[in-house]
Amino acid sequence: MIRLEGQPLVKMVDIEKKFRAVQALNKVNLEIQPAEILGLLGDNGAGKSTLIKILAGVFPPDGGEIFFEGKKVNFSSPQDARTLGIETVHQALSLVDIMSIARNFFLGREPTRKIGFIHLLDRKKMNEECKRAVTGLGVRVRSTDEFVSILSGGERQAISIGRAMYFKVKLLILDEPLNALSVRETREVLRQIQKVRESGVSVVFITHNVYHVYPIAERFVMLDKGIKLGEVRKKDASAEDIIEIIATGRMLNK
């Protein structure tokens, strides 16, 4: 199942980042294989978010290199990363509450149709495609004219994930996607993530709770205070082993 040979989708080499005096990342290496689910784990302040924000183009690293599909990349904005197919789903930062589902779905990438010399929003297309994409993930949505604010956490995740899939994402970064979700919704979102992987997309799943990601990921990378502790594969470590690694800040000597 796991393809370790061949070219990785993403290769981050010796990534460094400083915020004033704080060394947020210290020579971190990370590889993401095609169509795998990678769990990125660490306690609060371990540098998980910083690392993926660099990968998503939110800010540049102070040192190190990033390769995407074998080519060296320098992102100057999240837009650059998205153009290549890297999309982040963050619970608080993915949807505007007081906008409709369809408007959110296409935010920044709105389809238009030409009437004379003016480009107007293609609202019919927005509503139809949005509905189809979200239904495709097995989620029943109400009218796509509804405001996002009335949706549950799980429904929001579904719309964000559906949006990423619609725009042909190659790497989906999920930042704590299960926080504040009910048990039933958690299961639902996990199912969607697997569906995403089955369609050939790589997924980075960031969390501080190993039980969230253990059921679906094949490989786990642990960070601590800006340093990569190491990585393990599911067959080599139990969830408890991974907790132990994060808690002690050391790899296990087996």
Q: Which residues lie near other proteins (CB under 8 A)?
A: 58, 77-79, 82, 88, 90, 93-99, 103, 106-110, 112, 118-121, 123, 143, 145-147, 149-150
CB of 95 to other proteins, least distance (A): 6
- Which is closer to other proteins, CB of 151 or CB of 193? 151
Inter-CA distances, 121 with 104, 107, 111, 227, Å: 13, 11, 6, 46
- Which is closer to other proteins, CB of 1 or CB of 98? 98
CB of 65 to other proteins, least distance (A): 24
- Which is closer to other proteins, CB of 17 or CB of 103? 103
CB of 44 to other proteins, least distance (A): 20
CB of 240 to other proteins, least distance (A): 35
Please list, in sequence order, all residues whose beta carbon lies within 8 angstroms of the beta carbon of residue 2, skipping any fewer than 6 positions away: 33, 36, 218, 219, 233
- Which is closer to other proteins, CB of 41 or CB of 95? 95
- CA nearest 177: which of 208, 150, 149? 208
Using an 8 Å Cβ cutoff, are 166 and 144 in contact?
no
- Which is closer to other proteins, CB of 2 or CB of 107? 107
CB of 195 to other proteins, least distance (A): 23
- CA nearest 220: which of 198, 243, 199? 243
Per 3-state DSSP, the chain is made up of helix, strand and coil in percentages (nearest 5) of 35, 30, 35
